[in-house]
Structure 1
Amino acid sequence: MDLAQKTVKRQASFCNAITFSNRPIALYEQVRLKITKKQCCWSGALRLGFTSKDPSRINPDNLPKYACPDLVSQSGFWAKALPEEFANEGNVIAFWVDKKGRVFYRINESSPMLFFSGVRIAEPLWALIDVYGLTRGVQLLGKLANNNPCKQTLQTKNLCSRCSQTLISP
């Protein structure tokens, strides 16, 4: 995480960068990210989704290297890979879940696209972001639709959930 605590950047390899929101995400609340760094020579891209598992209760040592397929094979985790053609530096990705458990995304304010379905919405959901493959860095954009700052933090596999690492909107 950078010193300003606004971006997460994968340090090595193409994996081991699973990140979560620090608070539950409301239905229809858009989680917005900007891709800040792309790296050539890998395949695959950012994995996005949700979990019903409270990240503060997940032992980072028990997280697998990959959200897909390893983490999503466990109960309470749902994620999918962003198509590689959308993993470009500067792109803003928004994703959200609706009341039917469908996850949608959009790129740079494009029309929403159905990403996947089957998310159980009966329990609180946290955002799941795997900085993977071609995607090396992301910045959480904390503006909600009503332009109120979203004081949201990200926790990564390599950071203690008790650390006060915060990504706050500009």
Structure 2
Amino acid sequence: MTVHEPARSREQRKQDVLTRLEKDEDVWVATAGGPGEPFLVPLSFVQHGGALLISTRRTTPTARNVSPRGRVRLSLGHTRDVVLIDGDAEAVEGPDLPREAADAFAETLGWDPRDRAEWVYLRVTPRTVKAWREENELPDRLLMRNGTWLV
């Protein structure tokens, strides 16, 4: 028999999300291309200035899909501790990314795509954040709407 933990408060869930954004290094990135063809890939990220910075080769489906639509879904955690982030994404060339942000990416993740012409940054600004562990947290899973924290 599975024993479920009591539901966390929305405030605790927000704090847990912020902790994950600060400490996690990898995120699932979902985009859609062409006639809505889904594409899902794990990529490294760093949070900086309220946005998530990701880097990938400009020729990947992820980078190509971000350009025309600007929409992306990110997921942290496993199926028993989910964080879903819907955001607005933009591709940023290495020289166009503020030095402070690029330095944070390089220092945190241990590699620097600025000098790699085939790479591009994706800057994702969260629009919606949902977080839950079990069914008992589903009713209050929405923590951010339209880029504003609700708690």
| Structure showing greater Rg | 2
Task: Select the structure that is richer in strand.
Answer: 2
TM above 0.5: no
| Greater relative contact order (CA < 8 Å, ≥ 6 in sequence) | 1
Length-normalised TM-score, structure 2? 0.27
TM-score, normalised via structure 1 length: 0.25
Richer in helix (by share): 2
